[in-house]
Amino acid sequence: MKDVRNYDLLRHNTFGIAAKCSRFVEFSTVEELQDVLRRLTDDDMPLLLLGGGSNLLLTGDYHGTVLHSAIMGHEAVEKGDDVMLKCGSGETWDDIVALCVARGWYGTENLSFIPGEVGASAVQNIGAYGAEVKDIITSVEAVEIATQRPVSFTNAQCEYAYRQSKFKGEWRDKYVITYVTYRLSKTFKPRLDYGNIRSCLAEQQIASPTPQQLRDTIIRIRREKLPDPALEGNAGSFFMNPIVGKDKFDEIAGHYPEVPHYTVDAEHEKIPAGWMIDKCGWKGRSLGAAGVHDKQALVLVNRGGATGEDIVKLCHKIQKDVYDRFGIAIHPEVNIK
């Protein structure tokens, strides 16, 4: 177990923000976590549950305790066509995707190259290219902070929605996730109709991709669109794509017939926030050291030396411009602390 005071969080957030926390604790087992929680005092509060730091924006030093899972390992149980894969919350998500593809366990391919750790996948309901992790999660194990007792939740109990779960709402700061179990399949059913997957496959002259070819294509698309945090600090998609009613969508389509959209249900459409930000002229622009990526307007970047407050100011300016132009409020996907 690692337990350090006045700890530098620079390498624990992909935005590259210089900040420290009063105490940093990294646990490797459920028992270590329970012991840490049992010994917490008022001086250790508040708590921040940190994964890979790829969905976090620090606006200053954190005057409390940061808890980070280093619970590793995975265990698979195969039954017929199904594979139940239990993973430690500290595992890197994309390592698990690579493992699944290599072993012939399918269902994660479209979620390739999403940064972060297994525990965060269950909190955030990560998603990309027509897939969401809620579709494969069967259960989430955690430790209740107040009582230190181990608990287990079903998928239904987590109440997953677009980039949402009870861990982000009612259960926020009440549980520390220790393990996540996913249901995968031995039958490969590729999902190719979202975004530019098919066109990218066509460029490679691939008509029917293998699982590895689909994973490689998703990685290629993401690398072309998203900046490398090692070169330009960022947290990937900064804003959630708004879901609007049909009337609102029809209003916008009347002014912008080319508006991209994805049908959610009979009454709602999802409009890419990046498209609206681009229409407002923000792609590639900066506000001081904080900027908007020149290839993907959904991504805010640290051009070098930006503070968390610089990023927040840019966020607010973009939100105002999008609302003024489209009458739609867009909200950060990133956890701002």
Q: Rg for the chain (alpha carbons), in Å?
A: 20
Closest CA to 221 of 141, 129, 92, 293: 129
Catalytic residue among 117, 141, 237, 269: 237
State how far the alpha carbon of 106 is from the alpha carbons of 135, 214, 319, in Å: 12, 11, 38
State how far the alpha carbon of 96 is from the alpha carbons of 9, 111, 223, in Å: 25, 10, 19
28 is catalytic: no
State how far the alpha carbon of 38 is from the alpha carbons of 44, 102, 179, in Å: 12, 40, 20
Tokens of 64: 């409390």
Residues sharing a CB contact under 8 Å with residue 12, sequence separation 6 or more, in sequence order: 50, 52, 53, 66, 68
163 is catalytic: yes
Query: Is the preceding peptide bond at 150 cis, omega within 30 degrees of 0?
Result: no
Tokens of 223: 């690398």
At residue 81, the 3 state secondary structure works out as coil
237 is catalytic: yes
Catalytic residue among 109, 117, 269, 333: 333
Catalytic residue among 163, 165, 215, 269: 163
What is the set of active-site residues?
163, 237, 333
